[in-house]
Amino acid sequence: MELMEGNDVGFATCGDKNEEIGIESLQFGEEIQSLMSVPPETGSSFTALLELPANQAVVLLHSPESHEAPAELSGEVWRNGSIDHPKPYQPQSFACTPTFPSNTALLERASRLSVFAATENSPETTSIPSNSSATSHKVKQEPIESYSNPDSSPILSDPTVLNKNQKSTKRKEREKKVKGATKKIKNAVNDTSEDGEKLPYVHVRARRGQATDSHSLAERARREKINARMKLLQELVPGCNKISGTALVLDEIIYHVQSLQRQVELLSMRLAAVNPRIDFNLDGLLAAESGSLMDGNFPGMFMPPIWPEGCVNGNRQHYQQLWQFDGHHQPVWGRGEDNLNFITPANSLLSYDSSANNSGKLYSNITRVIVHLPCFSMSTEIISTSRKSVGLDYKFREHSDIVNCYQVSKH
């Protein structure tokens, strides 16, 4: 059920970091384009540096690396054992890119640079698609590096002052940026200093300018979980997309659930009135059903997998585990051919399936489960006696229900 959480994978390897940086820098590219309107605060010398080609950028990147001050990283916690390796580690670890930001400060400056780059759109945007993702990072970083580069002494005084101003503004802009694709993991350590140790904890990535307490991180993770689910609910409930604010959306959801429940009852009443065929002897049924889980004395209705396999996702295994405790696990593959024609009316429901799948793959399973509920009120009796909660795939169990429904209607 944690699909929405992204990948909670521990960043132990440098390779993962590469991917992460790559994803990030792709985002930087987008952000650069989105920040077109940011006024340049750089001096003319800086913009000249932006036009440096990529290889020079690489050189510049390497040289002033040691001058990075960890104190700048007030808001950013990027704890990864591999990231905190000193510079000499670089060439061995990150073979895919010549230069890799082993310093968090570098990346922070890269983020700041993305605002700079807005002014010089052409060199940046052309460089970004052409270079690899990591080197695009370097292109952004090299003008920053030029600041701290002691070689550029004539412009040293100005850029440092400018740097501070830019830092504050970039910090605000940075906060707005979303590090969407970054894998979020829990951080057990609060300090932002760059140690060389490799901790066995799972690490999280705090956004810049935000608190890095473990509590606030946990709360943030929880809040994001809740927001993701609210978004999904908004998609499900019609007319909720325009509403902003949790309380009103929840009101809509409540109203929707109530109306659906009323509709279900109304329609079931109507169906019962129209088809008073089966006696509703449910009390005994439900009591017996709990005991009938181990029985195998009903005609086995389990269909071979005719149902389309298209929507199998990770939830399947998760749900399969839930099934294990229901009873004995013997799939009964009986009467395959007889029931083939029963599937065809149900196949028309596949269109609903596909539409439902779009609304969230977490919940796509449920529609396939429910689609065979046409005669729910009528066939309850048959369903209860013939249904076997065995450790089957949920798909195949659905088939049994379909068959049961249609067999009832046939009788």
Partner 1 sequence: MSSKDSHRRSQKITIAAYSSMVRAVGTRRAWSRALLFKLRSQARRGYVVKRRCFSVKKRRVTKKASSGELKQAEKLRSLVPGGEAMEFCELLEETADYIKCLATQVIRAYGKHQKGSR
Alpha carbon distance 163, 116 (integer Å) = 11
Q: In what helix (H) or strand (E) does residue 106 lie, and over which residues does it extend?
A: helix 104-119
Report in angstroms how near the CB of residue 298 gets to partner 1 at its nearest.
14
Question: Identity (one letter) of the amino acid at 133?
Answer: S
Closest CA to 381 of 293, 284, 269, 300: 284
Report in angstroms how near the CB of residue 300 gets to partner 1 at its nearest.
17
Question: Is the CB of 74 or the CB of 268 nearer to partner 1?
Answer: 268
Question: Is the CB of 210 or the CB of 377 nearer to partner 1?
Answer: 377
In this structure, what token pair is assigned to residue 50?
């932006």
Question: Is the CB of 154 or the CB of 245 nearer to partner 1?
Answer: 245
Report in angstroms how near the CB of residue 325 gets to partner 1 at its nearest.
8
Report in angstroms how near the CB of residue 205 gets to partner 1 at its nearest.
21
Instruction: Tell me the HSE value of 130 on the side-chain side, using a 13 A CA sphere.
Output: 10
Report in angstroms how near the CB of residue 241 gets to partner 1 at its nearest.
15
If you write DSSP's letter for every residue of 246-288 in order, what string do you get? HHHHHHHHHHHHHHHHHHHHHHHHHHHHH-TTS---HHHHHHH
Question: Is the CB of 55 or the CB of 275 nearer to partner 1?
Answer: 275
Question: Is the CB of 205 or the CB of 368 nearer to partner 1?
Answer: 368
Q: Any residues with CB less than 8 A from the CB of 373 and at least 6 apart, and which?
A: 401, 405
Closest CA to 101 of 155, 192, 173, 21: 21
- Cα end-to-end span (Å), the chain: 40
Question: Is the CB of 102 or the CB of 367 nearer to partner 1?
Answer: 367
Question: Is the CB of 178 or the CB of 293 nearer to partner 1?
Answer: 293
Alpha carbon distance 272, 404 (integer Å) = 18
Question: Is the CB of 95 or the CB of 260 nearer to partner 1?
Answer: 260
Question: Is the CB of 157 or the CB of 358 nearer to partner 1?
Answer: 358
If you write DSSP's letter for every residue of 6-50 in order, what string do you get? -------SHHHHHHHHHHHHHHHHHHHHHTTTPPP-S-HHHHHHH
For 86, the 3-state DSSP assignment is: coil
Report in angstroms how near the CB of residue 287 gets to partner 1 at its nearest.
5
Q: What is the 3-state secondary structure (H, E, C) of 160-209?
A: HHHHHHHHHHHHHHHHHCCCCCCCCCCCCCCCCCCCCCCCCCCCCECCCC
DSSP code, position 82? T
Report in angstroms how near the CB of residue 247 gets to partner 1 at its nearest.
6
Report in angstroms how near the CB of residue 336 gets to partner 1 at its nearest.
21
